[in-house]
Structure formats: structure tokens, C-alpha cells
Structure 1
Amino acid sequence: MLEALSAVDARRWAVLTRAAFAARRAEIDALNVFPVPDGDTGTNLYLTLDSALDSVRTEHEAAGILGTATLEQECTALSRAMLLTARGNSGVILSQLVRGFAEAIADSGLPQAGAEVVADGLQRASRRAYASVTRPEDGTILTVAEAAASAGGAVVCQGLAAVVEAALDAATEALRATTDQLPALQRAGVVDAGAAGYLLLLEALARVVHQDGAHVGERMEPFAEDPSMRRREGWSTHGGVVEPTGHDGGPPASLADATEGGPAFEVMYLLRDSDEERAATLRTVLDELGDSLLVVGGPDLWNVHVHVDDVGAAIEAGLDAGRPYRVRVTHFSDQASHRRPSSGVGVVACAAGPGLAAVFEEAGAVVVASGPGQRASAGQLLDAIRACHTLSVILLPNDRDTELAARAAASAAEQEGLDVHLVRSRTAVQGLAAFAVFDAAAGVARNAAEMSHAAAATRHGAVAVASKQALTSAGPCEPGDVLGAVGGDVVVVGQDLAEVALDVVQRLLSSGGELVTVVGGEDVPDGLVEELGQRVERHHRDVTVTLIDGGQPHYPLLLGVE
């Protein structure tokens, strides 16, 4: 059992919380009845944290501290990233809860967070959450955060585990009590949605402190017995698990029912070039225009969230207070209709370059930019799945290192009632082969089977230029050497792109093949792709060659044989 949280522990806490949000997002969405922001509290919590973690990873990679950042660096970076990625009312409040923990850790000046620092973090998180809401209400996430902070602070002398367990127990009881604290929750017979999300965060913390699961450095898989991964009967007074459809008699049957009589639009934006005084004035103006108001952040950046009927007035108020950007306006009735997917099968495809993206888009896929240095997060893939507006979706990661994120996105989408099939396309050429057999008139199961078979039957290779000295399977290489790979393993080291590429194609064709696909990258020399295609056709008269201007970085040539 941990006596203090290190930077590694904090990262694990964040990752486990994200996993819990992914597993439970649809159930939390169904709880959402007050306040009525956009009907998807669980989704907003998940996407806020997922996008923030992705942003922190990118930031730390650029700074050269990925995996070695201090506890303060990890928490401060996550806090700021969440202010930028916050979605909906719930996401903004979550960002303030995390900000409270980050401030406690920063002010302690300690390399690890023991009982006192974590208890202080619980207190600051509660205060930050209360300060973010213009009109605090009992029976919300604020009540649960306050109960957790009070209980944790009372047992500091007993150590970190005692603080976390006391906070978790108090939050569990406080969450159960929210049903009777708000008329809307009582009528629905459910607990508060945002508060349920905070409970999952505390459960993930308890799991880290108790060192459940794998040790540091090992692959972590969610435990079947982990309460944060299980749906709860206790979240509904009707005695059953809350269903995403709301058919247990609790949540409204539709978003339109929930928002009847309330503001028609959700407006969110980030605000720069402002100060505390103008932010306070903005808060007053927006409070008169609508409800569900949050103006949080400072001193150089604020996140603004409000529900209004007059969108223009809400944005003009922001212009008076500073410089709004990333303005997002959602019409609640439109959002409700978007949640009713059509029949048919959609396809989501990852693409590492603009040329590849164009090919997939022209074929009808929703495309997500993803490749080395910019791999898509689970949240981005989930957005794309939902953007298909179909009940069934085929997901093509087209990259081995994106597969886990794709699985997480598929799992999260299935919680929403969508039928998502992941095709294990581990390279762009496998994804192209899979999409070539897609039949829009066929069902999702048949398409998934045919596309999976096509991807698996495609042998793949690549040509790249070595960036450093290394020992490969084909021998040593120096910076500038040309590397040819088959199935992800370097099989030839040479000096000429065309010669190495031809060698790779010969190896791919050694066991037969009818179609060779050559995908040129952004750094491929002019004319090389065409030259390679002609040479392949001369050597193999019975082979058809397809040339694609992919525009992908890092790999001048991607090669496939079907």
C-alpha cells in the first residue's frame, strides 16, 4: 500500500480514471437530469480527460520529459490541458477539481504527495468546484466533493490509505443522498451524474493507493472486480441498473423532454487577454442571459460555459471581456436528433497523410488524422464513430500503435448502443485493401469479416531513411541509410531508395500476389513512385500496380501485396 503518490502513480491514476469513464460513460449519460446541460455528462467527462492526457503526452514529448516529468509537472500540465479540453458543464467542473489537486501538489514543494498533500488537494478541489459555479446547489458534484474533502481531512494522521478510503466512503454515501436532495433527481430516482463521475475518480485513486493491478511498467488491464468498471444498481432507487435509454423510469426519454422550457443553446469558448475584473463582469452579464454558467481559469486563460437563447449576446459579452476563441455552439434539439443514428454501416478510417485521407474520404469514410507523431486518441476516434450517424460502424486503425486507442473507442461507443467492429488493419495498405471490399449494401458482420480477411491477406512493407545508428535484423545501419522492412521487421539496409524498395517488393511477391500497392510519402523524390511502378510491372507481367500519393511523413514508401 502506498504511503505517497509519485509522478508515476499520478499518471496511473489519470489513466485508470479515463478507463473508468470510458466503461461507464453511457450509464452516466443516462443519469443526467440536473442541471440539464447537454445530456451527456459521462461522455463529456471521458472526452475531457482523454483529450487532456493526449495533449499532455504531446507537450511532454516536445519538451523531452515524457515518462520522466515530476509530480508537479504532470499535475500542472494536466490541469491546464483540461481547462483547454473541457467539454460541457461537467468537463469544466472536472478541470477545476483537478486544478485543486495540482495547486496542493505545487504549493507543497514535495516530490511525492502523502496524506497531508492529498487531503489538502481534496479540500482545494472542493473549493475550486464551488467557486466555479455561480449558483451552487446541494445534491450535485459539489456536495459529494465537499463530503469527500471533509472526511479525508479528518484522518490525515492515519496515513494516505486512510485519507483516500475515508474520502471514498464519504463520497459514496453523499452520492446516494443526492437523489433526495434535488427534486429533479428524486422524480427520476437516480443519483447526480457529475457526482457519479467524481466517485469514479476517487475509486481510481483508491485502486492506485492499494496498488491493485499490475506493477509499474507492466501492462494494466481493468479488473473484473474493480467497482469503477461495473454498472451500479445503487445509482437508481428503482432497484435496477440505469440503462442508457432511460427506460428504467428515471432519466428523460429524450433530451428534448429534459430541456423543455430551458435555454436552447449551449455556448462554450476560451477567453484570452482578460483579467479577473473583466471576467467577473462577464460572469454577471452571462448570469442574466442564461443558466448553467461557468467562468473559470485565470490569470491568462478562462473557460466559459453557459446555456442561453441569445447566442450572439453571449459571444458579444466575451468580446467585451477579452478575446474569445474556440467558440462552440450546440443547439440542444439538433444534438438530440444526432443521437438517433440511421440504419446502414459507416466506416471510420485513420490516415497518416492528406493523400491517404482523400482516398478514404472519396470512398465514403469518416477520416481521422493519425500517424507517427500525431496518433489519434480514443476520444478523437469516438467522435468520428459518432459522426457516422449510423447504428453500425467499421473501424480501421491502419496503424499497429493506434489499435489500443481504437479498441477503447469501440468499447466506449458500444456503451452508447452502437455496433462497432474493429478491423485489425495495422498499416495503411492493409486499410486500403480492407476498404476495397467494403459493400455498403451488406450488413456490418459480413463487411467486418470480408474486410478483416482482406487486411490479413495483404502483406506489407515500408521504406524509410535511418535517423540514427542502430543494429537491425539486417545488420548495422548509420544515419542516412535506407531501410527496407517487411511485416515491420527490417530486412535490408541499402543506399538507394528505389533499389531497396524493389528488393522489398520482390520479397513481398515471393509467395505470390496479384496486386501491388505503392504509397508515396511526403518526402519521396519526384518520379520515384512512377519509376518503381514501371520496374515492378516489367519484372512481374501478371501483377497489377496501383500508385497512390499518400503524403504520409517518415516513410517515403509504403508497399502492399494482395
Structure 2
Amino acid sequence: MLEALSAVDARRWAVLTRMAFAARRAEIDALNVFPVPDGDTGTNLYLTLDAALDSVRAEHEKAGILGTATLEQECSSLSRSMLLTARGNSGVILSQLVRGFAEAIAESGQPQAGAEVIADGLARASARAYASVTRPEEGTILTVARAAAEAGAARVDEGLAAVAEAALDAATEALRATTGQLAALERAGVVDAGAAGYLLLLEALARVVHQDGAHVGERMEPFAEDPSMRRREEWSRQGGPVEPMGRTGGAPTSGHDGTPGGPAYEVMYLLRDSDEERAATLREVLDGLGDSLLVVGGPDLWNVHVHVDDVGAAIEAGLDAGRPYRVRVTHFADQVAHRQPATGVAVVACAAGPGLAEVFEGAGAVVVTSGPGNRASAGQLLDAIRASHALSVIVLPNDRDTEMAARAAASAAEQEGLDVHLVRSRTAVQGLAAFAVFDEHASASRNAAEMSHAAAATRHGAVALASKQALTSAGPCEAGDVLGAVGGDVVIVGHDIAEVALDVVHRLLSSGGELVTVIGGEGAPDGLVEELGARIERGHRDVEVTVIDGGQPHYPLLLGVE
């Protein structure tokens, strides 16, 4: 059990929260009070955090601190990124909750966050959430955040675990109570959607503190299947018909930012070149134009969200207050009108290079660029699953380190009602072997079984150049040495790419094989792939050789045997 959170623990907290949002996204969306298409609180929470984590990763990679950033750097970067990536009012409020934790950690000046710092973070998160809405209402995420903060503060002397558990227990009880605190929630028979999302964040904190699911790769869906989940079936229960509530500028409830017959447009934009006084004036103007108003941020950047009928007036108000950019306008009725029907079985495949992408696209797959140094996020994979417009989708990650994101995307898509199957293709050669047996006329389950079998039956190897001095399974290597790998483990240290590749192929063929696939990367010398293919055919006349110009980075050669 942890006594304090380090930077690594904070990253784990964020990742587990993202997994929770992915697993329970549709459940939270279903808490929508009104039957309109913008009931997407769970979706907005997930996409906001997913995009922010991607942004932080890119920022830290550029700064050279990826994986080594301090706790303050991690939290401050995430807080700012979430303000930029926030989707819908639920995403904006989430950004303010995270901002509260970031401020507490920054002000503490400590390398780790113990009980006092986390309790302070809970309090600041609550204060930021209340400050983010024009007219706070009870029975919303605000109520739950305050309950968590008060309970956490009362247990500071007992340590971090006590603070986390007390906050989670208090939030759970407060969430249950929201149904009876707002008439709209009581009529619909649901709890507040945004508050349900915040409970997931607190549960993720408790799991990290208790070191439960610390190795997230081993537990891909802890929030979807664990019977100890603190959610109740009645959260998703839909009651009788709901009557209009009328305009409100208070905290949005149950995933809907407006009301039936209310404002027709959602307007969101970021605002620069402003100050606290002009931002306050903007709040007053927008409050007179519509509802579901949020103007949060500062001192140099604000995020603005409002539902209005007069889009022009909402944007003009922003121009008077500063410099709006990233303006996004959504017409709620169009969200239904533009949905495309889903049919058939589709394949989403990751590709690390343009040549591989061309091969998968030519075979009919929806391709996502993903590979070492540029791996796809769960959000990008989820977008590709949706873009396939299919009732059933088979996902080929084609990379061991993309499998986790693919699982999260598949889980989120399944919550939307899609039938998603993940094939554990951990290399491009396994993905190609799997796709080779795809039958568009067969069912998704049958295809998934056949493709999984094909991927598992494909032995894989690779050739790369050592980037530094190291000790490998095959002995020591120096920078520039040629490394041959089989099944992900270095088995050869040599100096000639072609000779090392032939050795790898020989090892792959030692237990038999009928087809050898050679994929050339962007670092492969001219003519190497063709020469290697010819040499393999001469040395093994009973096998067929397929040569592909994959264009993948980092690996001059990828090799497979089926």
C-alpha cells in the first residue's frame, strides 16, 4: 500500500482512469436525462482524457523528459492539456477537477504526494468545479466532489490509503443521493452522469494506492469485470417520460447540457489574449444568451462552452473578450442526421510504414498509422472502428505495445453496441498472415478465430541496428552492431544485415514452414530485400517467399514464417 504518490503512480492513476472511462463510457452516456443525441458525458470524459494523455506524451517526448518527468511536471502538463482537449461541459469540468489536484501538488513543492497533498487536491478540485459553473446546483458532480473532499480531509492523519478510501466511500454515497436531489434525475430514475465519471477517477486513485492493477497490461478491463465495482444497476435504469426543466445556467445533469426545445447549438472555443475581468464579462454576456455555460481557465488561456440559438452572438462575445480559436459548433439535430448505418464485417489494422499501410488498405482494411515512436492511442483506434461503419469489427494491432490501446478501444466500442474482436497480432507479419485468411462473407466470430489461429501460427523475427552498447541474450553488443531477434528476443549479434537475416530465417524455419515473408524497412539498403528473398528461395526450395517494401522505421527487416 502506497504512503505517497510518485510521478509514476500519477501516470498510472491517469491511465487507469482512462481505462475506466473506456469501460464504462456507454453506461455513463445512458444516464442522459433527455432523449437527445448529445447525451455523451461518458464519451466526452474518455475522449478528453485520452487526447490529453497523448498530448502530454508528445510534449514530454519533445522536451526529453518522457518517463522521467517530475510529479509536478506530469500533473501540470496534464492539467493544461485537458483544458485544450476538453469535450463538452463534462470534459471542461473534468479539466478543472484535475487542475485542482495539479495546483495542490505544485504548491506543496514535494516530489511525492502524501495524504495531506491529496486531501488538499480533493478540496481544490471541489472548489474549481464549483467555480466553473455560473449558478451551482446540488445533486450534480459538484455535490459529489465536495463530499469526497470533506471525507478525505477528515482522515488525513490516518494516511493516504484512508484519505483515498474515505473520499471514494463518501462520493459513492453522495452519488446515490443525487437521484433525489434534482427533480429531473428523480423522474428519469438515474444518478448524475458527470458525478459517476468523477467516482471512476476516485476509484482509480484507490486502486493505485492499494497497488491493485498496478501492472495494467495484465488487467485490461478491471473496471468492466471486477465484482467489487462501486456502481449499481439502477444507474442505467431509465424511468418514465421526462418533462422539460426550463433554462438553467447551473451544473449540467445526467449528460445533457440543455433541454428539449432549448438551445439548438453547442458552441465551444479556446480564448487567448484576455484577462479575469474580461472573462467575467464574457460569462455575463453568454449567460444571457443560453445555458450550460462554462468559462474556465486563466490566466492566459480560457475554455468556453455554452448552448445557444444565436451562434454568431456567442462568438462575437468571445471576440470582445479576447482572441477565440479552435471554434467548434455542433447542431444537435445534425448529430442524428449524419449517422451512417453500420453493416457487415470490417478490419482495422495498424501499420508502421507507408508500404504496409498500402498493403492493408489494398486488402480493404481501415488503416491506423502506428508503430515504434508513433503508436496509436485508444482514441485513434476507436475513431477507426467507428469509421469502418460496420456492425462487427476485427482489430489487428500488429504491435505488442499497441495491444493495450487496442483493447481499451475495443472495450469502448463494445459499450456502444459494436461487435469488436481483437486479434493478438504482435508484429506486422502476424497481422498480414491473419488478414490473408479474412473472409468477408464469414461471420466476425469465425473470422476472428481463423485470423487468431493464423497469427499465432506465424513465427516472427526482425533485424535492427543497435543504438547503444548493451548486454543482450546473445551477448554484448556495440552501437551499430546488427541484431537478429526471434520472437522478440535477440539471438544474434553480427555485422552484416543480410547474413544476420538469413540466420534468423534459418532459425524460424527450423521447425518447418511453407511461406517466408520479408518486409523491408526505411533503413534497408537498396536491393537488400530482393537479394535476401532470392537467397532464401535458393537455400530453401520448398518454401514460398513474399517480399514487401513496408517502409517501417527502426527495423530494416521484419521476417515471418507460416
Task: Specify the TM-score bucket, using the shorter chain as the normaliser.
Answer: 0.7 to 0.9
Counterpart in 2 of 1:19? 19
* In structure 2, distance between residues paired with 1:456 and 1:218: 19
Counterpart in 1 of 2:386? 386
Question: Is the 1:140–1:178 Cα contact (8 Å) retained in structure 2?
Answer: yes
Counterpart in 2 of 1:427? 427
* In structure 2, distance between residues paired with 1:363 and 1:495: 36
* In structure 1, distance between residues paired with 2:469 and 2:177: 62
Stretch of structure 1 that moved more, 472-481 or 261-270: 261-270
Unaligned runs of 5+ in 2: 244-254
2:358 aligned partner, one-letter code: A
Counterpart in 1 of 2:30? 30
Q: How does 1:433-512 map to 2 (within 5 A)?
A: 433-512=433-512
* In structure 2, distance between residues paired with 1:6 and 1:412: 29
Counterpart in 1 of 2:100? 100
Counterpart in 2 of 1:213? 212
Deviation of the 1:403 alpha carbon:
1.4
Question: Is the 2:37–2:333 Cα contact (8 Å) retained in structure 1?
Answer: no
Deviation of the 1:219 alpha carbon:
5.6
Question: Is the 1:483–1:500 Cα contact (8 Å) retained in structure 2?
Answer: yes
SS of the aligned residue for 2:179 comes to helix
Question: Is the 1:338–1:389 Cα contact (8 Å) retained in structure 2?
Answer: no
Q: Superposition RMSD on alpha carbons, in Å?
A: 3.4
* In structure 2, distance between residues paired with 1:448 and 1:481: 39
Note the alpha carbon deviations across 1:148-180, whole angstroms, 9 max, x for none: 333434554555455444433432333222223
Question: Is the 2:16–2:216 Cα contact (8 Å) retained in structure 1?
Answer: no
2:452 aligned partner, one-letter code: S
2:551 aligned partner, one-letter code: G
Are the structure 2 counterparts of residues 357 and 272 from structure 1 closer, same or farther at C-alpha, using a change threshold of 3 Å? farther
Are the structure 2 counterparts of residues 510 and 149 from structure 1 closer, same or farther at C-alpha, using a change threshold of 3 Å? closer
* In structure 2, distance between residues paired with 1:283 and 1:101: 25
Question: Is the 1:200–1:228 Cα contact (8 Å) retained in structure 2?
Answer: no
Counterpart in 2 of 1:531? 531
2:229 aligned partner, one-letter code: M
1:265 aligned partner, one-letter code: Y
* In structure 1, distance between residues paired with 2:540 and 2:318: 65
* In structure 2, distance between residues paired with 1:552 and 1:10: 33
Counterpart in 2 of 1:238? none
Counterpart in 1 of 2:362? 362
Deviation of the 1:377 alpha carbon:
2.4
1:427 aligned partner, one-letter code: T
1:297 equivalent to 2:297? Answer yes
Note the alpha carbon deviations across 1:58-112, whole angstroms, 9 max, x for none: 4444445444433322222221222222222111101100101111121122333
Question: Is the 2:269–2:327 Cα contact (8 Å) retained in structure 1?
Answer: yes
* In structure 1, distance between residues paired with 2:37 and 2:277: 26
SS of the aligned residue for 1:395 comes to strand
Note the alpha carbon deviations across 1:245-267, whole angstroms, 9 max, x for none: x5x65889xx9999642333333
1:85 equivalent to 2:82? Answer no
Deviation of the 1:465 alpha carbon:
1.0
Stretch of structure 1 that moved more, 49-58 or 428-437: 49-58
Are the structure 2 counterparts of residues 320 and 506 from structure 1 closer, same or farther at C-alpha, using a change threshold of 3 Å? farther
Q: Percent identity?
A: 85
* In structure 2, distance between residues paired with 1:228 and 1:323: 48
2:212 aligned partner, one-letter code: G
1:405 equivalent to 2:400? Answer no
1:551 aligned partner, one-letter code: G
2:195 aligned partner, one-letter code: A
Stretch of structure 1 that moved more, 78-87 or 321-330: 321-330
* In structure 2, distance between residues paired with 1:259 and 1:406: 36
Q: Could you state the TM-score of these two structures normalised by the residue count of structure 1?
A: 0.86
SS of the aligned residue for 1:296 comes to strand
* In structure 2, distance between residues paired with 1:257 and 1:390: 30
Counterpart in 1 of 2:265? 265
Deviation of the 1:36 alpha carbon:
7.2
Question: Is the 1:34–1:185 Cα contact (8 Å) retained in structure 2?
Answer: no
Question: Is the 2:208–2:214 Cα contact (8 Å) retained in structure 1?
Answer: no
Counterpart in 1 of 2:53? 53
Stretch of structure 1 that moved more, 457-466 or 309-318: 309-318
Are the structure 2 counterparts of residues 504 and 328 from structure 1 closer, same or farther at C-alpha, using a change threshold of 3 Å? farther
Stretch of structure 1 that moved more, 477-486 or 36-45: 36-45
Are the structure 2 counterparts of residues 363 and 327 from structure 1 closer, same or farther at C-alpha, using a change threshold of 3 Å? farther
SS of the aligned residue for 2:445 comes to helix
Note the alpha carbon deviations across 1:482-526, whole angstroms, 9 max, x for none: 222222222333323233333333443444444333322222233
